[in-house]
Structure 1
Amino acid sequence: MAETYRKSKIEHYLERLLIRKQGLIRQLEMAGLEQSCEFIRGQLSATDMIIWELASEFDFINLINDGRDVHDSESRTKST
């Protein structure tokens, strides 16, 4: 039971990271934040790395791939 509880907590943390990631993507698209784009891209890249590490370590790859394409942020980062 404790293992299930811990895995559930990690899953919720991963979901919060995905929400933060979406917030960073929105910031990249906002007018007026052009001066901060490099910093935001760095945060986005670091967040992606943490998400992938957690997902692969705890077998949550399906959570990321179910409607939440992590590579989408990479393509936006490169095109911005």
Structure 2
Amino acid sequence: MAETYRKSKIEHYLERLQIRKQSLMNQMEMAELEHSREFICGQLSAIDLIILEITVEFGLGNTKNEGGEADDRECSPK
């Protein structure tokens, strides 16, 4: 039971990271935050790395929205 409980906590944490990632992606599109774009992009990259590490470390097969090339496009200058 403890293993199931821990896996559930990890999955819940990943869900919260995905919510944070989506929030940052929304901020990247906001004109009033254009001056913070580089900082937000760094945060987005860090969250992508954390999601990837947790997914690999705990063998969670859900790799969709994991980050990578699609988000790199978001971080390129407009």
Q: TM-score range by the shorter chain?
A: 0.7 to 0.9
Partner of 1:8: 8
Shift of 1:11: 0.3
Partner of 1:45: 45
Partner of 2:67: 70
| 5+ residue gaps, structure 1 | none
Secondary structure at the residue paired with 1:70? coil
Q: Larger helix proportion, structure 1 or 2?
A: 1
Cα RMSD for the two superposed structures: 1.5
**TM-score, normalising length: structure 1:** 0.86
Distance in 1 between residues matched to 2:8 and 2:45, nearest whole Å: 25
Q: How many residues align?
A: 77
Corresponding letter in the other structure for 1:38? E
| 5+ residue gaps, structure 2 | none
Shift of 1:4: 0.6
Distance in 2 between residues matched to 1:52 and 1:74, nearest whole Å: 15
